[in-house]
Chains A and B, each alone.
Chain A
Amino acid sequence: MTKALRIDKSSEEGLKELLKFLLENGKVKGVLTLRKMGEYGAISYSLITNPDDIDSTLPLFPLMPVNLGKQLSRLTLMEPATDPIAVVLRPCELRAFVELVKRNQGSLDNFLFIGSTCGGVYPLEMAVAGDIEGQLAQYWEAVEQGELIPDVRPACKACTYFVPYNSDITISLLGNKEIDKQSVLFLNTEKAEGFVEGIPGHYSEEEPDSATMEQIRKEREAEKQKLSDEVETKTLGIDDLTKTFSRCIECHNCSKVCPICYCHLCFFDSKDSEHGSDYYETELDKKGCVSMLSDTTFYHLVRLFHISTSCVGCGQCADVCPANIPLWAISLKMGEAVQRAFDYLPGKDIEEGLPLATFTPEEFAEIE
């Protein structure tokens, strides 16, 4: 049984009430959530300290402009949060942050994490085209019914980790039939109970609806199979990969937005990767012709190698790729295979060591 708080407002309004309550009562000094930037502006994350600004937030808007895990790392890279901050984020964002913290790229201290059972987010290009607002009714209807949502990121359709790990508070959204009437907040930690104390609402002990979650998980699993069969990269063999990455323009934007790629200077952006005339002329004499986009597959393979133990499948890489490479599917396939081999789920347990930093004498005996 988990402690639950019910506020008699729609899920989003109830959440906003909580955020305002936390700020007004000095329980937190800041709230990190989505907000619309001015009349013609975009929807972006904001660190809000003024309770009045909570009115213009859209904490449950189905968009991930940036993976917040990466931003939390930026905020806490030099020092942990100095004041308590409430953060509304998606399960994959929190998982990514946990992975970054394991790599000493930030700190979990002083954050109150508010997650939700996640229906997924729309691709960035839909936000750009202004197509999301028109879909919202359909989105929330599908969330309420616990159904697959059309047009969300393929990575989201294929996501089976839609119940957050490590969130202090979990908002029940998927399969919640009273989404418009009641905000249902599961208080997973004692910390959460302390923070919400004093807000008007009904408290109860409840069992999260695990049967519905299992049902949704099965549907997503099936969708994952279907989608990953559709992409051109059917296998992770070299032929398929070379074919897929042949469109790559080497902008490296997949790594820049990836919450796991944290290197401050990527090897592939460094001087070590700059070939110069000697290299090209030698290759030219050997082959007669040489592509000036010579390291694309190499770059992607190395990136996959570096991130696969921790890839949370957020899909940000695919969304920003100017060449429409289905990077989400490749990272997901690679990530799942590697994570299965190490019996490791990124972002699940902060105490669990990173697979490559953990030596187990009896591991992979079959390979030896």
Chain B
Amino acid sequence: MVITQKGAILAAEEGTEKAILNFIKQALSQGCFDAVLIPARVPTGDSFAYFLAQNEAFLEGASPLSPIMPVQGARVISSLARRGKGKKRIAAIMRPCEVRATIELAKLGQVELENMILITVDCPGVIPLSDYFEDPTKGDEVFKDASQNWNSKPMRPVCRICDKFSASGGEDLHVGTLGTNSGNILLIPHGSKGEDILNKLGIPLEEDISGWEAKVKKLTEERKKERKQANDALREDIEGIDRLVETFSACINCHNCMRVCPICYCQQCNFDSDNMKFTFEDYITRAKARGRLMIPTDTLLFHIGRMLHMSLSCVSCGMCEDACPMAIPVAQIFTVVGDKNQEAFDYVPGRTIDELLPLTTFEEQEFLEVEQSYAGVSAKQEDQDD
């Protein structure tokens, strides 16, 4: 959490968003980067999208903290630089979970970050898409009120229990806003990309950030507690194969959770592939084995397969849940599982780019307790067999 000892302070008399935009504009005009990737309202006004802009005037209308997350930023940045870096140096202004997912995608070889500068802002959360699209004007107001007061109630369920809403370490530059409503924002660089911008703009790195850090720490601790409570409560509802089957029985097999997920990057998912095409004989045989077969088939297998593939890198952004037509609490379930898996490997997705993916890292002395208990089980089994 503690990234540097000092930060830079910028005046924000006209509000946080304006201050961030002014800083970005200044950096763009000074050639700190060539273009900016940033959310902005779509022309019709009732939604937001990421825009790539090099035109300063465009930035006037951008929204570094948009009320919704229609697309996860990591997907956007990956579509921009999946096949390698471009010629331009791009500053991406994203939410912390978007940057964490971006870092994971970089580790997975799905985005080249050399020409990217990742900038995050303390994140109050986002409103669920369905709530927002019901009445966008009202959604704007609700978000404005809630974000100013750090009231997480109207936000996505996973935003309410997010304990990584601030700098995580993977970003190049973080904008601290929590508790700085008094008219300032803090710029906290992490590494040379961020520092270079401040140097170039002649912004001194002299501000003591311990006050902000203390506030972030306090909220983080609160959220950790709430997260644990929420996870424990949900675990009771979903634990055991019967409850798991029932929870996912509403699944209509559309795979939209997978398609909006920033971590699910396979160009063709196994579950959309020929591997999942069966003969009629297969289907009827399966039905006969139990007397019945849910159609579409293999929905639970899909979720468990997806979970196995991405839970170590899951950043709990909540896209999957927002995109699920059946309102299955996918993101909350994946948070329960992700937290546990990540804890087992002492891994925080997106924490730093240098940290290797757990499943690609072999450690001889790892999970001895599992080996031992397995050894115990097989010894017992052998006894019985005798």
- How far apart sit A276 and B55, CA to CA, in the bound complex (Å)? 20
Instruction: Decide: B322 and A65 in contact? CB cutoff 8 A.
Output: no
A284 within 8 A of B: yes
Q: A47-B283, A49-B292, A256-B255 are in contact. Are A265 and B79 (CB under 8 A)?
A: no
Interface string of A56-80 (1 = CB under 8 A from B): 0000000001101001001111111
Instruction: Decide: A324 and B134 in contact? CB cutoff 8 A.
Output: yes
- How far apart sit A314 and B46, CA to CA, in the bound complex (Å)? 27
Instruction: Decide: A277 and B84 in contact? CB cutoff 8 A.
Output: yes
Q: Which of A41, A280, A285 contacts B245 (CB 8 A)?
A: A41
- How far apart sit A300 and B327, CA to CA, in the bound complex (Å)? 24
**Chain A residue nearest in CB terms to B61:** A289
Instruction: Decide: B133 and A324 in contact? CB cutoff 8 A.
Output: yes
A21 within 8 A of B: no
Instruction: Decide: B51 and A292 in contact? CB cutoff 8 A.
Output: yes
Q: A32-B295, A83-B284, A290-B51 are in contact. Are A247 and B46 (CB under 8 A)?
A: yes
**Chain B residue nearest in CB terms to A270:** B267
Instruction: Decide: B54 and A124 in contact? CB cutoff 8 A.
Output: no
Q: Which residues of A contact B259 (CB under 8 A)?
A: 251-253, 256
Q: Which of A66, A125, A129, A289 contacts B51 (CB 8 A)?
A: A289
B31 within 8 A of A: no
Quick one: which of A255-287 are within 8 Å of B by CB?
256-257, 264-265, 271, 274-278, 280-281, 284-285
Q: Which residues of B contact A128 (CB under 8 A)?
A: 250, 326-327
Instruction: Decide: B280 and A78 in contact? CB cutoff 8 A.
Output: yes
A133 within 8 A of B: no
Q: Which residues of B contact A275 (CB under 8 A)?
A: 79
- How far apart sit A324 and B133, CA to CA, in the bound complex (Å)? 7
Instruction: Decide: B254 and A292 in contact? CB cutoff 8 A.
Output: no
Segment touching B, from A91-99, A164-172, A190-198, A315-323? A315-323
Instruction: Decide: A247 and B133 in contact? CB cutoff 8 A.
Output: yes
Instruction: Decide: B133 and A281 in contact? CB cutoff 8 A.
Output: no
- How far apart sit A178 and B172, CA to CA, in the bound complex (Å)? 71
- How far apart sit A297 and B108, CA to CA, in the bound complex (Å)? 31
Q: Which of B37, B268, B287, B295 contacts A44 (CB 8 A)?
A: B295
Instruction: Decide: A322 and B256 in contact? CB cutoff 8 A.
Output: yes
B80 within 8 A of A: yes
Interface string of A320-341 (1 = CB under 8 A from B): 1011100000000000000000
Q: Which of B55, B58, B246, B277 contacts A41 (CB 8 A)?
A: B246
Interface size class on chain B is: 35 or more
Q: Which of B80, B88, B284 contacts A29 (CB 8 A)?
A: B284
Instruction: Decide: B88 and A281 in contact? CB cutoff 8 A.
Output: yes
Instruction: Decide: A47 and B292 in contact? CB cutoff 8 A.
Output: yes
B4 within 8 A of A: no
- How far apart sit A39 and B86, CA to CA, in the bound complex (Å)? 54
Shortest distance from the beta carbon of B113 to any chain A beta carbon, whole Å: 12
Instruction: Decide: B283 and A75 in contact? CB cutoff 8 A.
Output: yes
Q: Which of B37, B43, B58, B130 contacts A322 (CB 8 A)?
A: B130
Quick one: which of B38-82 are within 8 Å of A by CB?
42-44, 46-47, 49-55, 57-58, 70-71, 76, 79-82
B341 within 8 A of A: no
Report which residue of B35, B83, B133, B295 has the largest number of chain A beta carbons within 10 angstroms of its beta carbon. B295
Q: Which residues of B contact A285 (CB under 8 A)?
A: 54
Instruction: Decide: A246 and B46 in contact? CB cutoff 8 A.
Output: yes
B382 within 8 A of A: no
Q: A41-B249, A44-B295 are in contact. Are A82 and B284 (CB under 8 A)?
A: yes
A136 within 8 A of B: no
Shortest distance from the beta carbon of B226 to any chain A beta carbon, whole Å: 25
A215 within 8 A of B: no
**Chain B residue nearest in CB terms to A124:** B325
**Chain A residue nearest in CB terms to B290:** A50
Interface string of B294-325 (1 = CB under 8 A from A): 11100000000000000000000000001101
Shortest distance from the beta carbon of B245 to any chain A beta carbon, whole Å: 7
- How far apart sit A190 and B50, CA to CA, in the bound complex (Å)? 59
- How far apart sit A290 and B225, CA to CA, in the bound complex (Å)? 42
Shortest distance from the beta carbon of B99 to any chain A beta carbon, whole Å: 16
- How far apart sit A113 and B257, CA to CA, in the bound complex (Å)? 33
Q: Which residues of A contact B322 (CB under 8 A)?
A: 322
- How far apart sit A252 and B272, CA to CA, in the bound complex (Å)? 14
Report which residue of A40, A42, A265 has the largest number of chain B beta carbons within 10 angstroms of its beta carbon. A42
Q: Which of B35, B80, B243, B287 contacts A49 (CB 8 A)?
A: B287
- How far apart sit A81 and B283, CA to CA, in the bound complex (Å)? 10
Q: A37-B294, A125-B327, A280-B80 are in contact. Are A292 and B37 (CB under 8 A)?
A: yes
- How far apart sit A292 and B72, CA to CA, in the bound complex (Å)? 11
- How far apart sit A89 and B346, CA to CA, in the bound complex (Å)? 51
Q: Which residues of A contact B44 (CB under 8 A)?
A: 243, 246-247
B293 within 8 A of A: yes
Q: Which of B129, B253, B292 contacts A66 (CB 8 A)?
A: B253
- How far apart sit A219 and B74, CA to CA, in the bound complex (Å)? 49
Q: Which of A77, A82, A281 contacts B277 (CB 8 A)?
A: A77
A159 within 8 A of B: no
A90 within 8 A of B: no
Shortest distance from the beta carbon of A20 to any chain B beta carbon, whole Å: 13
Instruction: Decide: A274 and B260 in contact? CB cutoff 8 A.
Output: no
Instruction: Decide: B278 and A47 in contact? CB cutoff 8 A.
Output: no
Q: Which residues of A contact B79 (CB under 8 A)?
A: 274-276, 292
Q: Which of B88, B246, B277 contacts A78 (CB 8 A)?
A: B277
Chain A residues engaging chain B, CB cutoff 8 angstroms: 29-30, 32, 35, 37-42, 44-50, 52-53, 65-66, 68, 71, 74-83, 85, 124-125, 127-129, 243, 246-247, 249-253, 256-257, 264-265, 271, 274-278, 280-281, 284-285, 288-293, 319-320, 322-324
Question: What are 21 A-B pairs with beta-carbon distances under 8 A?
Answer: A38-B246, A45-B294, A48-B287, A49-B284, A49-B292, A52-B291, A53-B291, A66-B295, A71-B296, A81-B280, A82-B280, A125-B327, A128-B327, A251-B323, A275-B79, A284-B53, A288-B57, A319-B325, A320-B252, A322-B130, A322-B323
A-B pairs with the 10 shortest C-beta distances?
A277-B86, A50-B291, A288-B55, A42-B250, A37-B249, A41-B249, A320-B325, A289-B53, A292-B50, A41-B246
Known: A41-B249, A46-B294, A78-B278. 18 other contacts (CB 8 A): A37-B294, A38-B246, A42-B250, A44-B295, A50-B291, A50-B292, A65-B326, A66-B252, A79-B280, A79-B281, A124-B326, A127-B250, A256-B259, A277-B80, A288-B54, A293-B50, A322-B130, A322-B133
